[in-house]
Amino acid sequence: ADGELVQYHYGLKDLVTILFYIFIAIILHAVVQEYALDKINRRLHLSKVKHSKFNESGQLVAFHLTSVIWCLYVVVTEGYISNPRSLWENYPHVYLPFQVKFFYLCQLAYWLHALPELYFQKVRKEEIPRQLRCIALYLVHIAGAYLLNLTRLGLILLLLQYLAEFFFHMARLVCFTDENNEKLFNVWAVVFVVTRLFTLTLYILVIGFGLPRVENQALNPERGNFFSFLFNNILFRMSVLLLVCLFQASVMWRFIHFQLRRWREYWNEQSSRKRAGAKQQAKPLKRDSGYHENGVVKAENGTSPRTKKLKSP
């Protein structure tokens, strides 16, 4: 009311807030599962493997769509897109607006709630290591950006990552309903490549050019300045950029390998269908035993079959 802008800092009380929103996330997870996904599953009659993947993609589609809209609203209203220099200016960004802090707490609560959901959803043992690895990566990156005061950069990176993940899981849902419809996978491929390029460009811009120009380069953990002084060293800066480029290259290599395998399976399926159709057309017609001569059916030994006389009752 007095025109004062209230900002927030992280602390131990965040753990209580995160715990509360973990329960909220579990309730929302159950609502989406019961009132949306279970009803669709009854109509599709999927196998157990596809049923588990359908539930996973359905939950992530709802989460990623909500997160993309919310994150886009935050970065637009805070001016992080219109002014890219704000990503590194006045670092460290110790004090946060309410919507930025609340977004990060909700993100941490969601990915922490995914751990007990592995038990509630009765996920197969073969799928647990993959999902644990995914959850751990998200928690490390989100918590790292939150605790190291890189929240502005983290918001843009999460927006790019969630956008690509939304199209991927949406394509999986469409493929479960219609196996021949793979158009959304092509859309996801384009979005994935574009987001990787934007992510790599953003890393180079912030790490290579932004953080080295920060005025306060001294190490001061009390003020939230943890490592900006390290980026003043060109060897450290180039090493970090090299690691980022290698990581992005490995991600792109896995993506290209996945696309080549998918296209190979598609063309093999198409060629097998063509061969099956050609065999069906070339299949000779089944003829009667014997052969026809002047309209009369002859037996194989050349004698004409005799007509049987019907006895009168």
Nearest to 208 by CA among 233, 177, 175: 233
* pLDDT at residue number 58: 93
261-285 pLDDT, tens digit each: 878 887 887 788 777 777 777 665 5
Buried-exposed string 163-200: b where 16+ CB fall within 10 A, e elsewhere: bbbbbbbbbbbbbbeeeeeeebbeebbebbeebbeebb
Q: Convert the pLDDT of each residue in 109-118 to its tens digit.
A: 999 999 999 8
Segment 10-32 shows an average pLDDT of: 95
The pLDDT value given to residue 269: 78
Q: Which residues contact 186 (CB under 8 A, 6 or more apart)?
A: none
The two structure tokens encoding residue 165? 């993940």
Contact 200, 239 (CB under 8 A): no
- Per-residue burial over 54-63, b if 16 or more Cβ lie within 10 Å, else e, is bbbbbbbbbb
What pLDDT is recorded for position 103? 97
- Determine contact, residues 104/191, Cβ cutoff 8 Å: no
Specify the range with the lowest mean pLDDT, choosing from 30-44, 69-83, 149-163: 30-44
Predicted local confidence at residue 120, as pLDDT: 83
Which residues, 6 or more positions from 79, have their beta carbon under 8 angstroms from its beta carbon?
A: 86
What count of Cα atoms within 13 Å lies in the side-chain half-sphere of residue 303?
4
* Stretch 115-134: mean pLDDT: 88
46, amino acid identity: L
pLDDT (0 to 100) of residue 25: 96
With tokens 């469409």, the residue in question is 174
Statement: residue 313 has pLDDT above 50: no
| Tens-place pLDDT, residues 215-264 | 666 666 666 666 666 666 677 778 888 888 898 889 899 889 888 887 88
> What mean pLDDT is reported for the chain?
83
137 in helix, strand or coil? helix
Query: Could you give the percent of the chain with pLDDT greater than 90?
Result: 41
Each domain of the chain, given as residue ranges in start order, spans 7-273
Per-residue pLDDT, 248: 87
Per-residue pLDDT, averaged over 286-305, amounts to 51
- Residues 38-57 have pLDDT tens digits of 888 888 888 877 888 899 99
